Structure 1
Amino acid sequence: MRTACILMILFVLALGGCSSSEKEDEKKLTVEDLGIVSKADGRKVYYGMKQADAEAVLGQGKERRKGEFEYAFGVYAFYRDGKVAAIRLEEEAKDHYKTALDAEIGMHKDQFESIYGDVHMPTIPDSQLTYVFDMKKQVLLKENKPKNDKEAKNLLIFSALEYDGIVDTIVIIDSYSTSHGIKE
């Protein structure tokens, strides 16, 4: 009986050890995790990347207005100070680009949420999923309420817009740009 009790205690302690090591293995998100990837060659484009480096992946873009470029396959990038300040994937990007964590245009909103989790701004049925990523703390927040412009530039908004539950647009933009517009 005593041996059974000791084995049970060791088993419980071992389980506790396993669960704590699982927590240590949890993947922290990075800015690159919220970027996009070319399906053809695996190269990434992400927030803060230099325009020249982004264009090495995206190709030559057509400037639509100051700082906003349209690229092939439904990809749009906005630059501020020579760096990526926003990325938008539209339906044409489906066969060419995905997010760094394998979410893509055409997937169901629930699949998207299963990849990025349920820590996002409150949502109602048939509405977009909007994630707020604190780039300094590398955590997702449930709200977008920066106290000042500096803090707004540190919050990355990652949204999956959908129609009838199917993601048709993915937008990555900092909170500063959402309230001040994209400026070079």
Structure 2
Amino acid sequence: MGFKRFYILLTSTLLLFVLAGCSGSSGASNSKAAKMEPDTFSEQDMAIYKVDNSKERVSYGMHRKDAEKVLGTGSVGITNSYTYESGVSVLYRDDKAVAITLKRESQGTYRTARGAETGMTKAKIKELYGEKYAFESSEKYMEYYYDTEAKQLVEGSAIKLNSLSGEALRAKQLVSTAYDAEGNAILIILLDGQAANTFK
């Protein structure tokens, strides 16, 4: 194959990937997200997908009936929180997902849009999400804070969720992770500030 023909084929393929990434509701693609750069964040980060079928996604803000098309029927936990057989729990506010939790049992079944799953080491999760904004309150916890109004990651130490309320609190989004003694993730939670503060 000549260089010119190869170049046209490569350019066409890349264009198709870009167009696929721009399609779909709420700006998220139905296919597996393209590689996301560390130390960046976007609306796409607030979603999980099935490892073996990336078209099956559950996203922040998704209606419960749509989430349950992917997850199945859950059992009720605390108010408005449901646990599903796959090791996923979802907290709903006004019937929309505001906290999505991957537990140990979800390993091998669900990942975040960036590719993180339980069982991964903290170092691997840092490779995916970045070092710059990783906020480690202890060896067992690490979080990333995203300000949806400013559209940027922010230093975790600068976020004072307790001092916020209403829209300002809901405008903060987190990726919160917890680790066992060996440094492997046992929980990955995608949630907003209100869910983090009040579990509502």
TM-score computed with the length of structure 2 as normaliser: 0.72
- Asked if 1:88 corresponds to 2:101, the answer is yes
Call closer, same or farther: CA 1:124–1:157 in 2, change over 3 Å. Answer: closer
Gaps of 5+ in 1: 1-25
CA contact (8 A) 1:37 1:98 kept: yes
CA contact (8 A) 1:69 1:78 kept: yes
Letter in 2 for 1:40: D
CA contact (8 A) 1:119 1:140 kept: no
How far residue 159 of structure 1 moved from its aligned partner, in angstroms, is 1.0
Identity of aligned residues (%): 27
Gaps of 5+ in 2: 1-35
Call closer, same or farther: CA 1:68–1:137 in 2, change over 3 Å. Answer: same
CA contact (8 A) 1:31 1:46 kept: no
- Asked if 1:157 corresponds to 2:169, the answer is no
Inter-partner Cα distance in structure 1 for 2:165 and 2:74: 32
CA contact (8 A) 2:126 2:134 kept: no
CA contact (8 A) 2:52 2:109 kept: yes
Inter-partner Cα distance in structure 1 for 2:81 and 2:129: 27
- Structure 1 segments (4+ residues) deviating >4 Å: none
Partner of 1:180: 198
Q: Which is greater in Rg?
A: 1
**Partner secondary structure for residue 65 of structure 1:** coil
| RMSD after superposition | 1.8
Partner of 2:118: 105
How far residue 138 of structure 1 moved from its aligned partner, in angstroms, is 2.7
TM-score computed with the length of structure 1 as normaliser: 0.78
Call closer, same or farther: CA 1:114–1:65 in 2, change over 3 Å. Answer: same
Partner of 1:33: 45
CA contact (8 A) 1:32 1:47 kept: no
Partner of 2:66: 53
How far residue 125 of structure 1 moved from its aligned partner, in angstroms, is 5.9
1:71-100 Cα deviation digits (max 9, x unpaired): 012110000011001011111000100110
**Partner secondary structure for residue 106 of structure 1:** coil
Inter-partner Cα distance in structure 2 for 1:112 and 1:74: 19
CA contact (8 A) 2:71 2:86 kept: no
